[in-house]
Amino acid sequence: MADSASFFRLASSRVTDFRHVGSLTQPTNHAKIRSLDVAGRRAQCRPRAPLIHFFPIFSKAAEHSALGEELRKQGVEHQIIAGEVRLSYKRRIWLFFLGLPKLAWFAAKSAIKSLVFGKPRPQVVVLGSDIEVLIFAFIRLLFGRTSTKIVLSGFIFTERDSRFLNAARRWYYQFVLQRTACVICQSALEAERYNSIFAKSHTKFTPVLWGTEIYGREQILEQVRASVSARKNRFILSAGRSGRDYQTLVRALRGLPNRLQIVCDSADALRGISESPSIQVLRGCYAAEYIEQLSQAEIVVIPLAVDDISAGQMVLIQAMALGKPIIVTGTPTISEYVKHGEDALLVPRGDAESLRNAIIRLTNDPGLQDRLGANAQAAYEEKFSTAAYIRRLVETIRIECGITHGCPSKELLL
């Protein structure tokens, strides 16, 4: 975006110069008249705002969140149309009958506000689900707003055991993706895979490594440093519901003195896991309460059962933000975020013995804990903060969607 901003500052200064070139009351000078005409067209090319519309569903006050602050800091012309839609339910049936209808209603209201009544209308809308894409595409077609491009962010496609269900899902997502100009994935592996699976959709899958922010992180880090110096009543924390392998983690901990806390509300992910004096399952632990548990953990372990889709990145980056020593399954997608022995310990998928050895090694080596935690925190601040993520996301949108800030090409101005 910096190059674009520099271009427009330069263009504005040239407009000022052109406006003082001669006068039409003097004898006709075609070169000067052409200069004035070019200046007029340049003046009309000033960036139209908002350029990109975002539709977060984590809070109605998202404009004042880290997302909104970073968009403003980086000079991104935008508008945030926010809502609060809960999509985390203990049972999938609740998601279908409660969460998804609320998401569809939010998408319909947002699409009308953005595409119909938005002035000026956006060049790009960034959406987070297939439902939103379908609703925005319908409103876009209905009101003739076809110049606005749709970007789908955070796309993940999982295969099913049934061949019929797989075929139906592929057809459905092919239909959805045909309405997008660009699809953002969280890893290069997925982008390559989806470009092959959904080649007929003619959309472009592009990797943008994920990033996030933890509210009050500096204060939490102070507490973390104090607890690290004490090293009392510490425990291993594992969290998440998608693609987790808690069964392997429990096997790895048998006979070890470490206490384990699992933050998860998914019955499928917790299948076969029984609580005991050394294993505690927190099923209703969200938001600030979850961050509190994360901040108090000695070690964070993220055991993964899948290796072909993004899983574990959210917990991984949150742990990195708090400077936690991490053990994580070394899947190809995780390997794009951390390096073994540098900012985390990576172990093979489903290998309880390797996981056990990594836990023993890290538990018995406080110096290694400190080094991995410090490197993880530094990597977060450089690559996975909200600021870094917004830079990557906006630059990708600008390139893939060909955003020109409403200006014609340089050739048209000459």
* pLDDT for 404: 61
Least-confidence region, from 42-51, 262-271, 377-386: 42-51
pLDDT greater than 60 at residue 301:
yes
Q: Residue 28: pLDDT band by 50, 70, 90 thresholds?
A: very low
Weakest mean pLDDT among 87-101, 140-154, 173-187, 335-349: 87-101
* pLDDT at residue 240 greater than cutoff 50: yes
pLDDT at residue 43 greater than cutoff 90 = no
Residue 14 has pLDDT above 70, yes or no: no
Residue 231, pLDDT score: 61
Say yes or no to pLDDT of 4 above 60.
no
Q: Is the pLDDT of residue 205 over 70?
A: yes
Q: Of 414 and 161, which is predicted with more confidence? A: 161
Tokens 């076809």 sit on residue: 146
Per-residue H/E/C for the chain: CHHHHHHHHHHHHHHHHHHCCCCCCCCCCHHHHHHHHHHHHHHCCCCCCCCEEECCCECCCHHHCHHHHHHHHCCCCEEECCCECCCCCCCHHHHHHHHHHHHHHHHHHHHHHHHHCCCCCCCEEEECCHHHHHHHHHHHHHCCCCCCEEEEECCCCCCCCCHHHHHHHHHHHHHHHCCCCEEEECCHHHHHHHHHHCHHHCCEEEECCCCCCCCCHHHHHHHHHHHHHHCCCCCEEEECCCCECHHHHHHHHCCCCCCEEEECCCCCCCCCCCCECCEEEECCCCHHHHHHHHHHCCEEEECECCCCCCCCHHHHHHHHHCCCCEEEECCCCHHHCCCECCCEEEECCCCHHHHHHHHHHHHCCHHHHHHHHHHHHHHHHHHHCHHHHHHHHHHHHHHHHCCCCCCCCHHHHC
Matching fold, domains 52-212+388-413 and 217-384: yes
pLDDT on residue 98: 87
pLDDT tens digits, residue range 53-80?
Answer: 999 998 899 999 999 999 999 999 999 9
Q: In the prediction, which pLDDT does 94 show?
A: 79
**Residue 1 or 278, more confident:** 278
Mean pLDDT of 360-376: 97
Tell me the CB-side half-sphere exposure of residue 380, using CA atoms within 13 A: 26
Per-residue pLDDT band for 45 (boundaries 50, 70, 90) equals very low
pLDDT given for residue 48 in this prediction: 46
Can you give the pLDDT at residue 234?
A: 80
Summarised one tens digit per residue, pLDDT across range 244-294 is 999 999 999 999 999 999 999 988 999 999 999 999 999 989 889 999 999
The pLDDT of residue 402 is: 86
Q: Which residue has the tokens 């901990």?
A: 253
Residue 410 has pLDDT above 90, yes or no: no
* pLDDT for 225: 80
Q: Note the CATH number of domain 217-384.
A: 3.40.50.2000
Q: What is the pLDDT of residue 2?
A: 40
pLDDT bucket at 161, cuts 50 / 70 / 90 = confident
Q: What is the residue extent of each domain of the chain?
A: 2-43, 52-212+388-413, 217-384
Out of 3.30.1540.10, 3.40.190.10, 3.90.960.10, 3.40.50.2000, the CATH code matching 52-212+388-413 is 3.40.50.2000
pLDDT classification of 108: cutoffs 50, 70, 90: very high
State yes or no: pLDDT of 306 exceeds 50: yes
User: What pLDDT does 90 receive?
Assistant: 67
Residue 7 — pLDDT band, cuts 50, 70, 90? very low
117-132 pLDDT, tens digit per residue, is 998 899 999 999 999 9
* Least reliable range by pLDDT among 82-91, 222-231, 335-344: 222-231
